[in-house]
Amino acid sequence: MIVKRAVFLDRDGVINRAVVRDGKPYPPATLERFEILPGVECAIHKLRKAGFLVIVVTNQPDVATGVQCREVVEAMHDKLRATGLCDDIKVCYHTDEDCCDCRKPKPGMLLEAAREWQIDLKRSFMVGDRWRDVAAGKAAGCHTFYIDYNYKERRADNPDATVGSLEEASRSIFQEN
């Protein structure tokens, strides 16, 4: 069995622009507001060309709370797939109150992807802009990158590296490998 390496990416704030209100990040409300951040396409294409799987792992609790329609979230994911920016997308539609295994900071989405794609988590990376992303990556055994936007919320605990963008994280991944 061939064991693969992956770069797991949070969606909002890593791949696309998050909507920041009162210092807190939120997903875009419509497909029209779903804007890929500068440098993301190039960084992802380089990672994929280097042999990394790129897997999006995203919490989308606004669907469970009725703030967002699942069809809109799926349209955003269809756009990502159509542009070739990922190999797979794992989504948790639950809230914290659901106590599921897939909602970050738990590592369920990463573990599921590792089983499905034969990924070596210890040789893989998690890139996120919130403490939950770093905690999920750490719990799965990945090297973690924290994109620090200085949100007014809990900060990530002990990421392996703090960066300013996915592009910067990808450069570090290439330097380490």
Rounded Cα distance, 83 and 8, in Å: 17
From the list 12, 62, 129, 133, the catalytic residue is: 12
Residues present in the chain in total: 177
Whether 88 sits among the annotated catalytic residues: the reply is no
> Coil, strand or helix: which one is 76?
helix
> Coil, strand or helix: which one is 138?
helix
Contact status, residue 46 vs residue 172, Cβ threshold 8 Å:
no
Contact status, residue 149 vs residue 129, Cβ threshold 8 Å:
yes
Contact status, residue 57 vs residue 104, Cβ threshold 8 Å:
yes
Whether 87 sits among the annotated catalytic residues: the reply is no
From the list 10, 62, 129, 133, the catalytic residue is: 10
Comparing CA positions, the residue from 142, 134, 133, 145 lying closest to residue 170 is: 145
Phi, psi (deg, nearest 5) at residue 108: -55, -45
The bridge status of strand 88-92 relative to strand 125-128 is unpaired
Kindly list the catalytic residues: 10, 12
